[in-house]
Amino acid sequence: MDNVKLAVVYYSMGGTNYQLARWAEEGAKEAGAEVRVLKVPELAPQSSIEKNPVWKAHVEETKEVPVATLNDLEWADAIIFSTPTRYGVMSSQMKQFIDLTGGLWARGKTVNKVVSAMSSAQNPHGGQEATILSLYTVMCHWGAIIVPPGYTDSAIFGAGGNPYGTSVTVGQDGKMIEDVRSAVKHQAIRTVTVAQWVQKGNQ
């Protein structure tokens, strides 16, 4: 059996969701997956980025991270999405990327992809769960297999107890308030494990 191929697709303005993506990569590799960490294309004007030192620094720090393409989604057996909340839904950058997948969907290439999602916000009730659910709504249309973490590991409780996907609160200093690394890694391992089950069932 081939190793599960996992794409970790993220959008990050200040680095939080990039860090979540890297922790997911750690967990997935521990589970034996082949992993691609990919950022979605930036839509904001350069003038806006230049005015925000944190945003500008993060763009510079991650300039070598590959930009996600539809070929990456077709390649992947499993996908973990990570996006900050924007008024309770996914960021426009993530939404635009997903909106471009109509061709893959029409050819049946999204069916049975194993998917999971993560999010962040400045407040514990600032839309973290709703953001993840907005991604899962799309995944229902894809015909994907959604893998939430549920309460399958004690790390989830330590990370705030979000059963839909790992989410984290970011303080005014830009630092994560909850310790979510273990929860992210568990979610990634669980996603890869389910993808392995699907892979075995298709053989």
Q: What is the pLDDT of residue 203?
A: 59
Q: Where are the domains of the chain?
A: 5-201
Q: What is the pLDDT of residue 77?
A: 97
**For 30-54, what is each residue's pLDDT tens digit?**
999 999 999 999 999 999 999 999 9
**For 187-202, what is each residue's pLDDT tens digit?**
999 999 999 999 988 6
**For 6-34, what is each residue's pLDDT tens digit?**
999 999 999 999 999 999 999 999 999 99
- 3-class SS string, 7-54: EEEECCCCCHHHHHHHHHHHHHHHCCCEEEEEECCCCCCHHHHHHCHH
| Residue pair 169/178 in contact by the 8 Å Cβ criterion | yes
Does residue 174 carry a pLDDT above 90? Answer: no
| Residue pair 120/169 in contact by the 8 Å Cβ criterion | yes
Q: State the CATH class of domain 5-201.
A: alpha beta
